[in-house]
Each structure stands twice: as C-alpha cells, then as structure tokens.
Structure 1
Amino acid sequence: MNDVKKIFDKWAQNGRAELMESEHGSNVSKFLQTIVFDKPFTFLDVRCGNEWVVREIAKKNNCKKSIGIDISKNMIIQAGKKVDNNKELFVHTDIESWNYKGKFDFIFSMESLY
C-alpha cells in the first residue's frame, strides 16, 4: 500500500493527476451519464486522485454531498486547491481505516484496485 501511496504522491507533484483526468474522463463521463440522479443523494469516490469526479458530481442539483478519499496526501492537497462549492469534501485516508459515520447513495472507484 505504501508503494501505491508514494506513486500517487509523485504523480500529484508532477502533473500526472491532470493527465489521469484526461485519460479517464471520457469513459467516466459515459458511465456517469447512465446514472439517474433524480432525487437528493450523497456520493463517495474511493481513491479519488485529484478529485475531478467529486467536483463534477457536486455540480448536480440533487447532490447533497460529494466526498472523495485518497491515501495520497499530495492528491488531496491538489484537490483542495480546486474546491468549487461547499458540497465537496476531500479526506486524506485509506478506505480500510476510515471511520465514517454515515451512508452513501453512490460509491465510485476508478483507482482503488492496485
């Protein structure tokens, strides 16, 4: 796990996070278009990287909260610089140790199976 954290920390520092967004953006957008967000919802992105999915989801009218978590502190720092609204929350943690007291209507993960 530490090797993955180190890799993503480096990627955040050298601009790779933005490249990940452009590489995955089309497929993720197509996937998200298949989901009907017609009532209030909460959203979690596990290993969110630079959190671009969290930001896109937070723009949806019915989104109550869009949360992204990542083990890479540098990714979370980069994401925090791009906060668009108060529906976004970014947390530096690992899903296995995160002690969240709540539930989510949608959970997404593009980068967690490493």
Structure 2
Amino acid sequence: MELKKINKNFSVCKVEDLSQIKLQDEFFFIGKTDEELSLVCETGSVPQKTLEREDGWKAFRIQGVLDFSLIGILSKISGILADNQIGIFVVSTYNTDYVLVKEENFEKALSILQENGYKIAD
C-alpha cells in the first residue's frame, strides 16, 4: 500500500463560525457536531478567531480510492504507530484517509511504516 506525504504544515482548531475559512485553499477539513465546530487547515490559513488551536502537524494520505468494503487499513496503520508511541489525528473523506502526526514524529512514523511494508511517495 502506498502512502503519500503532503508537504504542508497543518493546525487543528476549534472555531466559532465558518466565515473566516479560506474555502479556496487546497486542504481543509470541517467537522461539526452538537458540541463543536472543528477545522483542520494549513497553519498559514488558521482563522484569526479560534477558540483553541494546536499547530505542528504534518500529514500523509493513503493513496488511491478506498472501497468501503475494505477493512482494517487504518487500524493497521494506527496500530503500528501506537506500538511505537506515535499518536495520530485522522480525517477521512469519501475517497481515503488522511493521517496527521505531530511534526517531531513525522519522519519517524514514515520510516516505521516503510519498515512495515508501506511505500512512501513524495
């Protein structure tokens, strides 16, 4: 399985509203529940008004379109990283999954995944 590095810096935020989100940006993820409105975006695009934010994330995605019948792909990746004390933050889209890792652990995470048979694409 191939993983593609995304050469951008990301932030995870809790926001009040969507008015300052740059919808033209290449990457952003919005999650809304009855308790919060969350945003994952490039660090340079974090809105001025955030309730909370955490910077310092890097990301990779599982390449290709993942069929919904596929089971355990994300579980295997997260298990390998958990076994090596590396935490993750995951965002899923219709096509695939994006895995965010803190910047200081990113290269180590990719190296461990490569040792476990994953191909890493730039």
TM over 0.5: no
TM-score (norm 2): 0.23
Is the radius of gyration larger for structure 1 or structure 2?
2
> Higher helix share goes to which structure?
1
TM-score where L is the length of structure 1: 0.24
